Amino acid sequence: MARIRVAAPTLAAAALLGLAVLLPVPASAQLNDGVAGNELLETWRRHTGNLLRFCYDENASTAAFDRAVGEEIGARMLVATEFVPIRAGYGIDGQYLLEDLFVALTNNCDAMLGLSVFSGYAVEFTVTQPYVHYDFVLGVVDPAYGRLLDIPAGARLGTQISTRGEVAFLGYNNVRSEGSRWLRLPYADPDLMLTRLLDGTIVGMVLFGPTFVQIAADRPEAAAVRLLTLDPVQGAFANVGAVLLAQSSFLRSEIDGAIASLVADGTIARRLVSSGLGDVPAGPGPR
Protein backbone atom coordinates (compact mmCIF):
# COMPACT_ATOMS: atom_id res chain seq x y z
CA MET A 1 0.00 0.00 0.00
CA ALA A 2 1.29 3.47 -0.79
CA ARG A 3 2.29 5.59 2.14
CA ILE A 4 -0.24 8.24 3.07
CA ARG A 5 1.46 11.33 4.39
CA VAL A 6 0.48 12.39 7.90
CA ALA A 7 1.01 16.04 8.67
CA ALA A 8 0.97 17.61 12.11
CA PRO A 9 -0.80 19.14 13.85
CA THR A 10 -3.96 17.15 13.25
CA LEU A 11 -7.60 17.65 14.09
CA ALA A 12 -9.31 14.82 15.93
CA ALA A 13 -11.82 13.03 13.70
CA ALA A 14 -11.06 15.32 10.77
CA ALA A 15 -8.55 13.29 8.70
CA LEU A 16 -9.87 12.66 5.20
CA LEU A 17 -13.44 13.26 6.32
CA GLY A 18 -12.12 16.75 6.85
CA LEU A 19 -13.26 17.48 3.32
CA ALA A 20 -16.78 17.06 4.66
CA VAL A 21 -16.16 18.99 7.84
CA LEU A 22 -13.42 21.45 6.99
CA LEU A 23 -13.42 24.32 4.58
CA PRO A 24 -13.10 23.32 0.92
CA VAL A 25 -9.48 22.91 -0.09
CA PRO A 26 -8.58 25.22 -3.01
CA ALA A 27 -8.65 23.25 -6.24
CA SER A 28 -5.57 23.00 -8.43
CA ALA A 29 -6.07 22.54 -12.13
CA GLN A 30 -2.54 21.15 -12.31
CA LEU A 31 -2.58 18.70 -9.41
CA ASN A 32 -1.13 16.06 -11.73
CA ASP A 33 2.02 18.13 -12.15
CA GLY A 34 2.87 17.61 -8.50
CA VAL A 35 2.38 13.85 -8.37
CA ALA A 36 2.61 12.51 -11.91
CA GLY A 37 5.80 10.51 -12.21
CA ASN A 38 6.05 10.39 -8.43
CA GLU A 39 7.59 7.15 -7.22
CA LEU A 40 4.54 6.61 -5.01
CA LEU A 41 2.28 6.08 -8.02
CA GLU A 42 1.73 2.49 -9.17
CA THR A 43 0.73 3.08 -12.76
CA TRP A 44 0.89 -0.66 -13.51
CA ARG A 45 -2.17 -1.48 -11.38
CA ARG A 46 -4.19 -4.19 -13.16
CA HIS A 47 -7.95 -4.23 -13.55
CA THR A 48 -9.86 -5.79 -10.68
CA GLY A 49 -12.80 -7.13 -12.71
CA ASN A 50 -15.92 -7.49 -10.58
CA LEU A 51 -14.22 -6.22 -7.43
CA LEU A 52 -14.98 -2.68 -6.27
CA ARG A 53 -12.36 -1.30 -3.90
CA PHE A 54 -13.28 1.48 -1.49
CA CYS A 55 -10.92 3.55 0.61
CA TYR A 56 -12.30 5.04 3.81
CA ASP A 57 -10.95 6.87 6.84
CA GLU A 58 -10.95 4.29 9.62
CA ASN A 59 -10.79 6.99 12.31
CA ALA A 60 -13.66 9.08 10.98
CA SER A 61 -16.77 9.51 13.09
CA THR A 62 -18.78 8.02 10.21
CA ALA A 63 -16.43 5.11 9.37
CA ALA A 64 -18.88 2.28 10.17
CA PHE A 65 -21.65 3.95 8.20
CA ASP A 66 -19.42 4.66 5.19
CA ARG A 67 -18.37 1.01 5.07
CA ALA A 68 -21.97 -0.09 5.29
CA VAL A 69 -22.88 2.18 2.38
CA GLY A 70 -19.99 0.77 0.36
CA GLU A 71 -21.26 -2.76 0.99
CA GLU A 72 -24.74 -1.76 -0.16
CA ILE A 73 -23.39 -0.07 -3.29
CA GLY A 74 -21.48 -3.23 -4.20
CA ALA A 75 -24.58 -5.37 -3.66
CA ARG A 76 -26.66 -3.12 -5.94
CA MET A 77 -23.97 -3.27 -8.62
CA LEU A 78 -23.64 -7.06 -8.22
CA VAL A 79 -19.90 -6.86 -7.52
CA ALA A 80 -17.71 -7.87 -4.60
CA THR A 81 -16.37 -5.12 -2.37
CA GLU A 82 -13.05 -4.65 -0.65
CA PHE A 83 -12.25 -1.94 1.88
CA VAL A 84 -8.90 -0.24 2.30
CA PRO A 85 -8.63 1.60 5.62
CA ILE A 86 -6.65 4.80 5.49
CA ARG A 87 -5.44 6.41 8.66
CA ALA A 88 -4.47 9.96 7.99
CA GLY A 89 -4.34 13.33 9.69
CA TYR A 90 -3.93 16.81 8.24
CA GLY A 91 -3.49 20.29 9.59
CA ILE A 92 -6.38 22.70 9.42
CA ASP A 93 -5.21 23.94 6.01
CA GLY A 94 -5.53 20.43 4.53
CA GLN A 95 -2.04 20.62 3.00
CA TYR A 96 -1.18 17.58 0.85
CA LEU A 97 -4.65 16.09 1.27
CA LEU A 98 -5.58 16.20 -2.42
CA GLU A 99 -2.17 14.91 -3.46
CA ASP A 100 -2.46 11.96 -1.10
CA LEU A 101 -6.01 11.32 -2.25
CA PHE A 102 -4.74 11.15 -5.84
CA VAL A 103 -2.11 8.58 -4.84
CA ALA A 104 -4.62 6.48 -2.90
CA LEU A 105 -7.09 6.40 -5.79
CA THR A 106 -4.32 5.52 -8.22
CA ASN A 107 -2.79 2.71 -6.16
CA ASN A 108 -5.25 1.37 -3.65
CA CYS A 109 -8.90 1.89 -4.44
CA ASP A 110 -11.51 2.86 -7.00
CA ALA A 111 -13.38 5.34 -4.81
CA MET A 112 -12.92 7.17 -1.53
CA LEU A 113 -16.00 7.12 0.68
CA GLY A 114 -17.09 9.75 3.17
CA LEU A 115 -15.98 12.95 1.45
CA SER A 116 -17.84 16.17 0.93
CA VAL A 117 -19.53 16.66 -2.42
CA PHE A 118 -18.76 20.17 -3.65
CA SER A 119 -17.30 21.81 -6.73
CA GLY A 120 -13.87 22.66 -5.33
CA TYR A 121 -11.96 19.52 -6.31
CA ALA A 122 -9.09 19.56 -8.77
CA VAL A 123 -9.87 18.47 -12.32
CA GLU A 124 -8.23 15.11 -11.69
CA PHE A 125 -11.23 14.07 -9.57
CA THR A 126 -14.93 13.43 -10.05
CA VAL A 127 -17.55 13.16 -7.31
CA THR A 128 -20.68 11.07 -6.89
CA GLN A 129 -24.03 12.36 -5.85
CA PRO A 130 -24.37 12.61 -2.05
CA TYR A 131 -25.57 9.51 -0.24
CA VAL A 132 -26.13 11.39 3.01
CA HIS A 133 -26.17 14.85 4.50
CA TYR A 134 -25.23 15.79 8.06
CA ASP A 135 -25.97 18.91 10.08
CA PHE A 136 -23.74 20.75 12.45
CA VAL A 137 -25.39 20.99 15.84
CA LEU A 138 -25.48 23.13 18.94
CA GLY A 139 -24.74 21.20 22.13
CA VAL A 140 -26.05 22.68 25.38
CA VAL A 141 -26.52 21.59 28.99
CA ASP A 142 -28.70 24.34 30.46
CA PRO A 143 -32.37 23.28 30.20
CA ALA A 144 -33.34 26.91 29.66
CA TYR A 145 -31.85 26.78 26.17
CA GLY A 146 -34.15 25.32 23.55
CA ARG A 147 -32.59 27.09 20.59
CA LEU A 148 -29.62 29.26 19.73
CA LEU A 149 -31.56 32.48 20.21
CA ASP A 150 -32.34 31.53 23.82
CA ILE A 151 -28.66 31.96 24.71
CA PRO A 152 -28.02 35.49 25.99
CA ALA A 153 -25.75 37.87 24.12
CA GLY A 154 -22.17 37.85 25.34
CA ALA A 155 -22.31 34.20 26.41
CA ARG A 156 -19.35 32.04 25.40
CA LEU A 157 -19.90 29.49 22.65
CA GLY A 158 -17.27 27.00 21.46
CA THR A 159 -16.84 26.15 17.80
CA GLN A 160 -15.04 23.29 16.05
CA ILE A 161 -12.29 25.23 14.34
CA SER A 162 -12.14 25.62 10.55
CA THR A 163 -15.37 23.74 9.93
CA ARG A 164 -18.34 24.67 7.81
CA GLY A 165 -20.38 24.93 10.97
CA GLU A 166 -18.00 27.45 12.46
CA VAL A 167 -17.94 29.53 9.28
CA ALA A 168 -21.74 29.54 9.05
CA PHE A 169 -22.07 30.48 12.72
CA LEU A 170 -19.51 33.29 12.43
CA GLY A 171 -21.25 34.64 9.36
CA TYR A 172 -24.52 34.82 11.27
CA ASN A 173 -22.96 36.16 14.48
CA ASN A 174 -21.03 38.88 12.68
CA VAL A 175 -24.10 40.38 10.99
CA ARG A 176 -25.89 40.74 14.33
CA SER A 177 -25.67 44.09 16.09
CA GLU A 178 -22.61 44.42 18.31
CA GLY A 179 -24.57 44.20 21.52
CA SER A 180 -26.37 41.00 20.53
CA ARG A 181 -23.39 38.87 19.52
CA TRP A 182 -22.05 35.82 21.34
CA LEU A 183 -18.40 35.38 22.27
CA ARG A 184 -16.89 32.61 20.16
CA LEU A 185 -14.08 30.43 21.49
CA PRO A 186 -12.47 28.18 18.81
CA TYR A 187 -11.42 24.62 19.69
CA ALA A 188 -9.20 22.32 17.64
CA ASP A 189 -10.08 19.39 19.93
CA PRO A 190 -13.84 18.61 20.13
CA ASP A 191 -13.24 16.41 23.17
CA LEU A 192 -11.75 19.35 25.04
CA MET A 193 -14.65 21.51 23.90
CA LEU A 194 -17.05 18.98 25.42
CA THR A 195 -15.10 19.16 28.68
CA ARG A 196 -15.39 22.93 28.70
CA LEU A 197 -19.13 22.72 28.07
CA LEU A 198 -19.57 20.33 30.97
CA ASP A 199 -17.48 22.45 33.36
CA GLY A 200 -19.31 25.65 32.42
CA THR A 201 -16.48 27.45 30.66
CA ILE A 202 -18.74 27.69 27.62
CA VAL A 203 -22.55 27.44 27.53
CA GLY A 204 -22.81 25.85 24.08
CA MET A 205 -20.70 24.19 21.41
CA VAL A 206 -21.03 24.10 17.63
CA LEU A 207 -19.72 20.89 16.05
CA PHE A 208 -20.30 18.21 13.42
CA GLY A 209 -23.14 15.94 14.54
CA PRO A 210 -21.31 12.60 14.04
CA THR A 211 -18.28 14.01 15.87
CA PHE A 212 -20.38 14.46 19.00
CA VAL A 213 -21.51 10.83 18.83
CA GLN A 214 -17.88 9.73 18.52
CA ILE A 215 -16.50 11.74 21.43
CA ALA A 216 -19.51 11.05 23.68
CA ALA A 217 -19.24 7.27 23.26
CA ASP A 218 -16.58 6.95 25.98
CA ARG A 219 -17.88 9.72 28.21
CA PRO A 220 -21.04 8.86 30.19
CA GLU A 221 -21.26 12.44 31.48
CA ALA A 222 -21.98 13.54 27.91
CA ALA A 223 -25.54 12.28 28.43
CA ALA A 224 -26.22 15.68 30.00
CA VAL A 225 -25.72 17.37 26.63
CA ARG A 226 -28.72 18.09 24.43
CA LEU A 227 -28.24 18.57 20.69
CA LEU A 228 -30.16 21.45 19.12
CA THR A 229 -30.36 22.69 15.56
CA LEU A 230 -28.34 25.77 14.63
CA ASP A 231 -31.38 27.60 13.32
CA PRO A 232 -31.51 30.35 12.20
CA VAL A 233 -27.90 29.87 11.03
CA GLN A 234 -27.88 28.86 7.35
CA GLY A 235 -25.45 26.57 5.52
CA ALA A 236 -24.22 24.54 8.50
CA PHE A 237 -24.37 21.12 6.86
CA ALA A 238 -22.31 18.78 4.67
CA ASN A 239 -23.42 16.70 1.69
CA VAL A 240 -21.28 13.56 1.67
CA GLY A 241 -20.54 11.07 -1.09
CA ALA A 242 -17.52 9.46 -2.76
CA VAL A 243 -14.62 10.77 -4.85
CA LEU A 244 -13.04 8.98 -7.83
CA LEU A 245 -10.41 9.82 -10.40
CA ALA A 246 -11.81 11.77 -13.33
CA GLN A 247 -11.15 8.97 -15.80
CA SER A 248 -13.52 6.75 -13.80
CA SER A 249 -16.60 8.67 -14.96
CA PHE A 250 -18.40 5.50 -16.11
CA LEU A 251 -17.86 3.85 -12.73
CA ARG A 252 -19.03 7.03 -11.05
CA SER A 253 -22.28 6.94 -13.03
CA GLU A 254 -22.84 3.32 -11.98
CA ILE A 255 -22.22 4.21 -8.34
CA ASP A 256 -24.59 7.16 -8.71
CA GLY A 257 -27.31 4.78 -9.86
CA ALA A 258 -26.73 2.54 -6.86
CA ILE A 259 -26.81 5.51 -4.49
CA ALA A 260 -30.08 6.76 -5.97
CA SER A 261 -31.60 3.34 -5.39
CA LEU A 262 -30.33 3.17 -1.80
CA VAL A 263 -31.72 6.60 -1.02
CA ALA A 264 -35.09 5.90 -2.62
CA ASP A 265 -35.82 2.60 -0.87
CA GLY A 266 -34.82 3.73 2.61
CA THR A 267 -31.61 1.70 2.88
CA ILE A 268 -29.49 4.75 3.68
CA ALA A 269 -31.85 5.79 6.47
CA ARG A 270 -31.78 2.29 7.96
CA ARG A 271 -28.00 2.13 7.75
CA LEU A 272 -27.70 5.43 9.61
CA VAL A 273 -29.60 3.87 12.50
CA SER A 274 -27.75 0.54 12.45
CA SER A 275 -24.39 2.35 12.36
CA GLY A 276 -25.16 4.33 15.51
CA LEU A 277 -25.99 7.63 13.83
CA GLY A 278 -29.74 7.47 14.25
CA ASP A 279 -29.81 10.37 16.72
CA VAL A 280 -27.65 12.64 14.58
CA PRO A 281 -29.42 15.29 12.49
CA ALA A 282 -28.87 13.68 9.10
CA GLY A 283 -30.78 12.31 6.15
CA PRO A 284 -30.41 10.32 2.92
CA GLY A 285 -29.16 12.07 -0.18
CA PRO A 286 -28.44 15.80 -0.53
CA ARG A 287 -29.88 18.56 1.57
Of 38, 34, 30, 51, which Cα lies nearest the Cα of 3?
38
Expressed in angstroms, the distance from the first to the final Cα of the chain is 35
3-state helix, strand, coil in the chain (%, to 5): 35, 20, 40
Q: pLDDT-derived band of residue 9, with 50, 70 and 90 as boundaries?
A: very low
73, 65 in Cβ contact below 8 A? no
Q: Which pLDDT does position 121 carry in this prediction? A: 87
Q: pLDDT-derived band of residue 86, with 50, 70 and 90 as boundaries?
A: confident
The chain-wide mean pLDDT, for the chain, equals 86
Please enumerate in sequence order all residues whose Cβ is within 8 A of that of 174, keeping only pairs 6 or more positions apart, or say none: 181
**pTM of this prediction?**
0.84
Q: Which pLDDT does position 151 carry in this prediction? A: 98
Q: Which pLDDT does position 93 carry in this prediction? A: 62
Q: Is pLDDT larger for residue 40 or for residue 260? A: 260
| Span 169-181, average pLDDT | 96
Three-state SS for 159-224 is: EECCEHHHHHHHHHHHHCCHHHCCEEEEECCHHHHHHHHHCCCCCEEEEEHHHHHHHHCCCHHHHH
Helix orientation angle between 63-77 and 267-274, rounded to the nearest 10 degrees: 150
Q: pLDDT-derived band of residue 96, with 50, 70 and 90 as boundaries?
A: confident
Q: Give the span between the Cα atoms of 108 and 144, in whole angstroms.
A: 51
Q: pLDDT-derived band of residue 35, with 50, 70 and 90 as boundaries?
A: low
User: Could you read off the pLDDT of 41-56 as tens digits, one per residue?
Assistant: 555 554 556 899 999 9
User: Could you read off the pLDDT of 197-211 as tens digits, one per residue?
Assistant: 999 999 999 999 999
Please determine, for residue 273, whether its predicted confidence score (pLDDT) is greater than 50. Answer: yes
Across the chain, how many H-helices and E-strands are there? 9, 11
Q: pLDDT-derived band of residue 236, with 50, 70 and 90 as boundaries?
A: very high
Task: Calculate the CA 60 to chain-centre distance.
Answer: 8
| Span 78-85, average pLDDT | 96
12, 49 in Cβ contact below 8 A? no
- Phi then psi for residue 31, to 5 deg, are -55, -35
Cis before 143? omega within 30:
no
Q: Give the span between the Cα atoms of 140 and 235, in whole angstroms.
A: 20
Of 33, 174, 163, 45, which Cα lies nearest the Cα of 106?
45
